Structures are given as C-alpha cells and as structure tokens.
C-alpha cells in the first residue's frame, strides 16, 4: 500500500486530521440525540409545571367569616317559617341582608381605609354569596331571626388578591376592584375574618356564570365525564373484544376481512373532530337525541374508541401461542371453546391494558364533544342514572375549553385546576394499566 503523501503518518495514539474530524462528528451526533431528548424532557416538565402552578389556586378558596342577622320581618314576612313560603323571598333580598351584614362588620372592626366607598364594601363578597345564604336558610328555617356566623365566598378579585393574581397595581386599572378594597380585605384578613381553605366546592359544584368565577366547580363535568365513560365501557369494550376475536380467530383470510382490517386501521387515524361531525349528523340531526347529553357524547366516543380498543386486543390475542389452541383442539374442544376457555383468559391482561388506555384517551378527548353541544353552559349537575344520560352535561376537557373562553382571568386558574383533576384521573388509569401489565404479563 502506498501512503498518501498529503497525509501525515497516523498511529492509534496520534489521530490524524481526518480521524479527528470523524470523531468530532461522532460526538456531535451523540449530542444531537441527547439534545433532542433533553428538549422533550424540558417541554414535558415545563408543561406540567405551568399547569400545576396555575391550577393549584383553584383548590384553595378564601371565605369571609361574618355574623349575619337574619331579620325575620324581611326573610319570612308571614312569620310561620314555612320553607315553601320563604322560597318566595328572592336572592336579591338576601343580597341586601348580606350587604348590611358586611357593612356592619366593617364598621364594627373600625377599619380605616381612605376613600372607601360602599361599592368597595359590597364587592367584598361574591355575587354567589347571597344564594349561598338563601339556600342555607331555606334548608334550616329555624335560623331566621337569629344572628348566625356565615362563611361566605369572597369576590373573585379578593380571592385573586390572596393568591397573588391581583395586585395593588392591577387593581388600580381594574373597574371591578380598587386598591382601597384590597386594603380593606387585607385588614379583615389580619383580623382573621378572611380565611383561605381547601376548596372542596371546586370538586362538587357545577359551572358558574361569567361574573362569579369563585363559585365555579367541576362537579357537573366530572359526573358528565363519568357517564360518558360508562357508556363507552358498556358499548365499546364488549363490541371491541368481540370484533377482535372474530378478526383474529375466526375470520377467513379473504377480501372482505382485508377491507375490515384496513378500515379499522384507518378509522384509528381519522381526526377526532370528524367523529364529532358524525355524531352531530347521525345522533342529533338524524336520530333526534338531545344535544349535550352524555349518551350522545358516549356514543361518539364509543365509535372513536372502538378501533383503539380493537388494535391492542388483537395484539394480545395474537400473542397467545398457537400451542395453547392446538392443545385445546387436541383434547376435543371446539374452535369456539378453545378461544373462550383458553385463549381469551390468557389474553385478558393485555386486553384490559388496551381497554384502560383506550378509555383514558376517550376521557381526554375534547373536539368531538364541542360539536355535539357540550359547550353549553351547564348550571345543574345531571340527575342519577339512567335518566341522567339524557340530561345536559359537560365533560372535564370541555369544561376546560369553556373556561378558556371567558374574559375573567380567574377562569384560567379554574381551567388549570380542572386539568389537574383530569390529569389525576388519567394518571390513575395509566398506573392501573401499567400495574396490570407488570403483574400479569406473561412471556411465552
């Protein structure tokens, strides 16, 4: 071999220029890979961190603790403490009673804030608070005539002030609050009258209107999502498993089966919003089912989830070795018996895992539900089963979307809080799926 005159003699110990370049390229390439993984990890961490920090506030809520004098002459004009008659007294009247109680409390504590107006004092409590008081009085009519200590919701801006969302500077520009009001709230908090507690109502209550983010909760959305998951579980799982068994174990290899198979893999890749259009056209316009009902949402999600259940189920069936089938057939079982008595039980862990992951996907799906009217404003939690399936309902991801469309920034906190709830549910489902896989997976 003749040496190239341009190249200096190289050895294993001393790299020549070309080897150096190649090694550098090797290192660069390696770093590209590490960089790509680092970027995805950073994205994941930032994504989760922002949602968690934004949403944590939704789980805490400030309350104003004040004594309210429930004047019998105003709240029960007839004086016989009959809840049916007392229900004629409007929430508006309770609002006046409450305003007076707040005003009295501020006067009693002798809080001095320069330029404090009546509007500032009234604005301390949420617009929902009077309804809160009214509900409690109607539930316990004997309270009328007494002075009772109430924990009432504070207004959204006051709540935001204690969570750091509203500051003195932002209050200056805000027509719904003022620095004076915040000073008053701070003074009340110093006296222990405004307290921050864990917000159970966020998980219990339904949505609230634009003006009262502090009263909005995901209760109705959780119920709606639960009903839809129930429909998916009852329909998609048995149908999906039956279809997989047929395709994997019984179907003859012909054109017809081929079409079904291509069809299923294509359906799994159809954009979810197209299923929403299908649901709108087929279930609402054609079949006349009610809008925003969990049954329609459940049916749409069923159609969407079916291929996503069939594909892992078939994989699980395929993973059962043929020797199991042959052994069953060999001792005289029919084909059907070999499948149902032997193959299916052995494939169950895989099927369950696929099923749970399919349900988790359905739980997080938003787009198709928007089209079937689930964006509607839902003030009531759907009733019990089965009639609740036809009541208007919301769903967790749709509730998030709904809240992002509101103008008050307090709803962003609620939306992030709802996402935390959704992610907790998804986490539980995924952990369950992983646990099932780890515990029961069998390698042949």
Q: Which of residues 349-368 bind another protein (CB under 8 A)?
A: 360, 363-367
Q: Which of 67, 77, 83, 271 binds another protein (CB under 8 A)?
A: 271
Contact 224, 395 (CB under 8 A): yes
Q: Is residue 297 within 8 Å of 224, Cβ to Cβ?
A: yes
Is residue 88 classed as helix, strand or coil in its secondary structure? Answer: coil
CA 127/CA 119 separation, integer angstroms: 13
Distance CA 306, CA 313 (A): 11
The answer to whether 58 touches 418, Cβ cutoff 8 Å, is yes
Instruction: Write each residue from 48 to 87 as x if it is in contact with another protein (CB under 8 A), else as -, in one continuous string.
Output: --xx--x---------------------------------
**56, 319, 423, 432: which one binds another protein (CB under 8 A):** 423
Minimum CB separation of residue 87 from another protein in Å reads 32
Q: Smallest gap, in angstroms, from Cβ of residue 287 to another protein? A: 5
Q: How many residues are recorded in the chain?
A: 444
Site size for another protein (CB under 8 A):
87
Both tokens of 231, joined, read 């429909």
Helix axis angle, 91-109 to 179-190, nearest 10° = 70
Smaller CB distance to another protein: residue 178 or 402?
Answer: 402
Q: How far apart are CA 170 and CA 177, in angstroms?
A: 9
Asked if 259 touches another protein (CB under 8 A), the answer is yes
CB 245, min distance to another protein, A:
6
Q: Minimum distance between the CB of residue 61 and another protein, rounded to whole angstroms?
A: 21
Is residue 315 a contact residue for another protein (CB under 8 A)? no
Q: What is the strand order of the sheet 194-198 is part of?
A: 147-153, 60-69, 194-198
- Binding to another protein in span 132-191, by CB under 8 A: none
One residue of 56, 251, 319, 432 binding another protein per CB under 8 A: 251
Phi then psi for 64, rounded to 5 degrees? -105, 125
CA angle 300, 303, 305 (to 5 degrees): 105
Nearer to another protein, 238 or 321 (CB): 238
Tokens 């029919």 -> residue: 334
Q: What would the x/- binding string for another protein be over residues 387 to 416, using CB under 8 A?
A: ----------x--xx--x-------x--xx
Q: Where are the beta strands (DSSP E) in 227-323?
A: none
Residues whose CB falls within 8 Å of the CB of residue 243, separated by 6 or more in sequence, listed in order: 264, 306, 310
Residue 372: how many CB atoms within 10 A of its CB? 25
The dihedrals phi and psi of 32, each to the nearest 5 degrees, come to -60, -45
* Choices 99-107, 163-171, 172-180, 264-272; region in contact with another protein by CB under 8 A: 264-272
Q: Among 52, 111, 282, 432, indicate the residue that binds another protein (CB under 8 A).
A: 282
From 15, 263, 323, 383, residue interacting with another protein (rule: CB under 8 A): 263
Q: Establish if 226 lies at the interface with another protein (CB under 8 A).
A: no
Using CA atoms, how far apart are residues 379 and 208, in angstroms rounded to an integer?
A: 7
375 binds another protein (CB under 8 A): yes
Q: Which stretch binds another protein (CB under 8 A): 80-88, 118-126, 247-255, 377-385?
A: 247-255
Choose which of 39, 90, 327, 424 interacts with another protein (CB under 8 A): 39
Contact segment (CB under 8 A) with another protein among 29-37, 95-103, 183-191, 226-234 equals 29-37
Stretches 120-128, 220-228, 244-252, 323-331: which one binds another protein (CB under 8 A)? 244-252
* Nearest approach, Cβ of residue 376 and another protein (Å): 9
The dihedrals phi and psi of 216, each to the nearest 5 degrees, come to -80, 140
Q: At residue 65, what are phi and psi to the nearest 5 degrees?
A: -100, 110
Q: Which of 91, 196, 201, 430 binds another protein (CB under 8 A)?
A: 430
Pick the binder of another protein from 281, 327, 424, 428 (CB under 8 A): 281
Q: Please report how close the Cβ of residue 158 comes to another protein at its closest, in angstroms.
A: 22
Out of 135, 146, 209, 334, the residue judged to bind another protein by CB under 8 A:
334
Compute the least distance from the CB of residue 258 to another protein, in Å: 12
Smallest gap from Cβ 208 to another protein, in A, equals 19
Structure-token match 């109502």, residue found: 201
Number of helical H runs and strand E runs in the chain: 20, 3
Candidate residues 91, 186, 272, 348; the one interacting with another protein per rule CB under 8 A? 272
Q: Where are the alpha helices (DSSP H) in 280-409?
A: 294-319, 322-330, 335-338, 344-364, 367-371, 396-404
265: left (phi over 0), alpha (psi -120 to 50) or beta: alpha
- Return the number of the residue (162 or 425) whose C-beta is nearest another protein: 425
Q: Is residue 269 a contact point for another protein (CB under 8 A)?
A: yes
């Amino acid at each position: 071999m003749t040496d190239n005159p341009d190249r200096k003699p190289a050895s294993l110990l001393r790299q020549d220029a070309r080897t150096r370049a190649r090694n550098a390229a090797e290192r660069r390439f390696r770093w590209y890979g590490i960089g790509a993984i680092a970027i995805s990890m950073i994205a994941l961490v930032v994504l989760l961190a922002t949602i968690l920090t934004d949403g944590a506030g939704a789980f805490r809520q400030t309350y104003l603790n004040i004594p309210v004098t429930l004047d019998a002459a105003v709240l029960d004009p007839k004086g016989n403490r009959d809840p049916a008659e007392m229900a004629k007294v409007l929430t508006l009247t309770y609002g006046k009673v409450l305003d007076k109680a707040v005003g009295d409390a501020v006067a009693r504590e002798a809080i001095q804030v320069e330029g404090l107006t009546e509007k500032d004092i009234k604005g301390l409590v949420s617009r929902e608070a009077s309804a809160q008081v009214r509900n409690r009085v109607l539930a316990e009519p004997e309270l009328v005539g007494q002075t009772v200590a109430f924990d009432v919701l504070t207004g959204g801006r006051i709540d935001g002030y204690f969570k750091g969302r509203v500051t003195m500077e932002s209050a200056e520009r805000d027509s719904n609050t003022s620095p004076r009001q915040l000073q008053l709230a701070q003074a009340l908090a110093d006296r222990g009258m405004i307290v921050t507690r864990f917000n159970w109502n966020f998980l219990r209550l339904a949505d609230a209107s634009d003006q009262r983010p502090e009263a909005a909760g995901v209760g109705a959305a959780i119920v709606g999502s639960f009903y839809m998951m129930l429909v998916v579980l009852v329909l998609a799982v048995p149908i999906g498993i039956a279809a997989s068994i047929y395709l994997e174990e019984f179907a003859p290899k012909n054109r017809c089966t081929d079409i079904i198979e291509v069809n299923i893999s294509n359906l799994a890749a159809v954009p979810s919003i197209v299923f929403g259009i299908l649901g709108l056209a087929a279930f609402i316009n054609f079949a006349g089912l009610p809008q925003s009902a969990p049954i329609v949402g459940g049916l749409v999600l069923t159609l969407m989830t079916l291929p996503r259940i069939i594909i892992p189920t078939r994989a699980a069936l395929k993973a059962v070795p043929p020797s199991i089938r042959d052994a069953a057939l060999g001792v005289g079982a029919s084909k059907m018996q070999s499948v149902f008595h032997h193959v299916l039980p052995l494939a169950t862990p895989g099927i369950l895992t696929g099923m749970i992951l399919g349900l988790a996907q359905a739980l997080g799906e938003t787009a198709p539900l928007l089209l079937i009217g689930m964006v509607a404003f839902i003030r009531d939690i759907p009733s019990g089963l089965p009639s609740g399936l036809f009541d208007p309902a919301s769903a967790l991801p749709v509730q998030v979307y709904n809240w992002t469309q509101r103008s008050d920034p307090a709803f962003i906190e609620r939306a992030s809080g709802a996402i935390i709830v959704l992610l907790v549910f998804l986490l539980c489902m995924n952990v369950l799926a992983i646990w099932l896989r780890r515990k029961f997976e069998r390698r042949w």
